[in-house]
Amino acid sequence: MFTRGLVFLAFLVLGGFVGWLLAAWPGAVVGVVLAALLAFYLDTLRLVRLQNWLMRLQSIEQDDPARIQVLPEAPAGGLLGEIADRMHRLLRWRIQAQRESKLQLQEMLAAIQASPNGVILLDAQGRIEWCNQTAAGHLGLDAARDVRQHVAHLIRDPLFNAYVAAADFSAPVSIAGRQNTPSRPVRLSLQVHPYGEGQRLLLSRDVTLIEQAEAMRRDFVANVSHELRTPLTVLSGFVETLQTLELPPQDVRRYLDLMAAQSNRMQTLVSDLLTLSRLEGSPPPTLNDKVGVDALLSQCEIDARALSSLLGRSEQTIEFVQDAPADLCGVATELQSALSNLVSNAIRYTPAQGRVSVSWKLLADGSGEFSVQDNGPGIAAEHLPRLTERFYRVDRSRSRDSGGTGLGLAIVKHVVQRHGAVLHIESEPGRGSHFSIVFPASRVHRADTPAELKAA
């Protein structure tokens, strides 16, 4: 400001001096006035230039906000030029800060978009301000169309509406997902988190697998408890009887035999549970170990005939056929357990006059198929998808009479998956059942020497 005053004073002195040279004192007065008018005119020009510069900035910001990042040059010269220069630097700093804030916002939104959980921002009235694609997929929303719509008008679930009305957000609420069907249930967990000035954050999470796992855990504990309680009840009853009554030796022997049978049943159940636990916790088998298919079938045949005799079904027709010798890559004990479980199931559920056929064959693509065919009672279609679940029984009374633990097919499923094979189940009531395991070509190798065909 001091410099501007000196410049203005210099203008007056110079104008007065020039006027005095031209016309003495009257000229000096005129010169001072003209100098003042010239200084005022120059300041006016600078003000007009500053105004035009500001108007250009405003026009650019209104018409094309992206271009505001490239500012036009500020007018230079004088006090107003210095003011314009300071404004120019201030605007550049503001634009840089806005650019950084915008980048941070975009990164934050990108991170929220990548989240496996749904995120919805609600205003104080419960209207949607923003949502990510996960939330849109969970709840059937349109991220652009449904902005400013009330969330309760879009999520028409009575449980969620009651949850919002109660305004108690300490725990989530579970509702059916948009794609929920009886055959493929979908469950969502929704929870509201208040923030800011009355605003709310609504989080959605797909908990279908979690709820299914929890249901399986409850069923597993209940089934194990039930399976163990029955033999324990029998054992405790016989022990109490033997302790309190004087019985003839033949009755004591009969009771001890029944107690031994129940003990064996519990031991078999615990053994199957340990097998499942080992299968789930161990690494997948490698391709280095091999076992001959003929050895596996021989053991299956021995076990099958022993079981048939034990069940009093010596008239059953049991046939084992191997069309070509081969080796399987994998864990021998696991493979033997899976194949024997399929054969023993067929023996248990095939009547005394029935027929069980077990076969191994090499397929055209190099894979191998182990199959078990019986002419037992068969299984209804609605039970087939659940046969490999732990403790799942089509007929509980008949399964228990046959001595099964309800874990055999679950063990088969895990062994099959670990060896990269596929389990196929075909059955119709009254027409028997057909179980087959197809091993991939990478785990099947032709043997050099032919194996004996076994038939009975």
Tell me the domain boundaries of the chain.
2-109, 115-206, 218-281, 290-446
CA proximity to 69, closest of 79, 57, 81, 78: 57
Q: Which residue has the higher pLDDT, 304 or 393?
A: 304
What is the Cβ-side half-sphere exposure of residue 108, based on CA atoms within 13 angstroms?
Answer: 9
**CATH: 3.40.50.300, 1.10.3720.10, 1.10.1380.10, 3.30.450.20. Which one for 115-206?**
3.30.450.20
- pLDDT-based confidence at 455, cuts 50/70/90? very low
Q: Each residue of 379-391: pLDDT tens digit? A: 888 888 888 887 7
Token pair for 294: 């003929």
Average pLDDT for residues 313-319, to the nearest whole number?
86
Q: Each residue of 155-202: pLDDT tens digit? A: 988 999 899 888 889 999 999 888 888 768 889 999 999 998 889 999
DSSP 367-425: -EEEEEEE-SS---GGGGGGTTSTT--SSHHHHHHHT--S-HHHHHHHHHHHTT-EEEE
pLDDT number for residue 217 = 79
Looking up tokens 């009254």, which residue turns up?
430
CA proximity to 293, closest of 365, 185, 369: 369
The three-state secondary structure class of 223 is helix
Overall fold of domain 218-281: Helix Hairpins (1.10.287)
Q: How much is the mean pLDDT over the chain?
A: 82
Given a contact cutoff of 8 angstroms between Cβ atoms, the answer to whether 435 and 382 are in contact is no
Token pair for 247: 């019985």
Q: What is the CA radius of gyration of the chain?
A: 44
Superfamily name with CATH number, domain 290-446: Histidine kinase-like ATPase, C-terminal domain (3.30.565.10)
- pLDDT-based confidence at 58, cuts 50/70/90? low
Residue 28 has φ and ψ, to the nearest 5°, of -65, -40
Under the phi-then-psi rule, with left for phi > 0, alpha for psi from -120 to 50, and beta for the rest, what region is 321? beta
pLDDT number for residue 449 = 41
What DSSP state is assigned to residue 438?
Answer: E
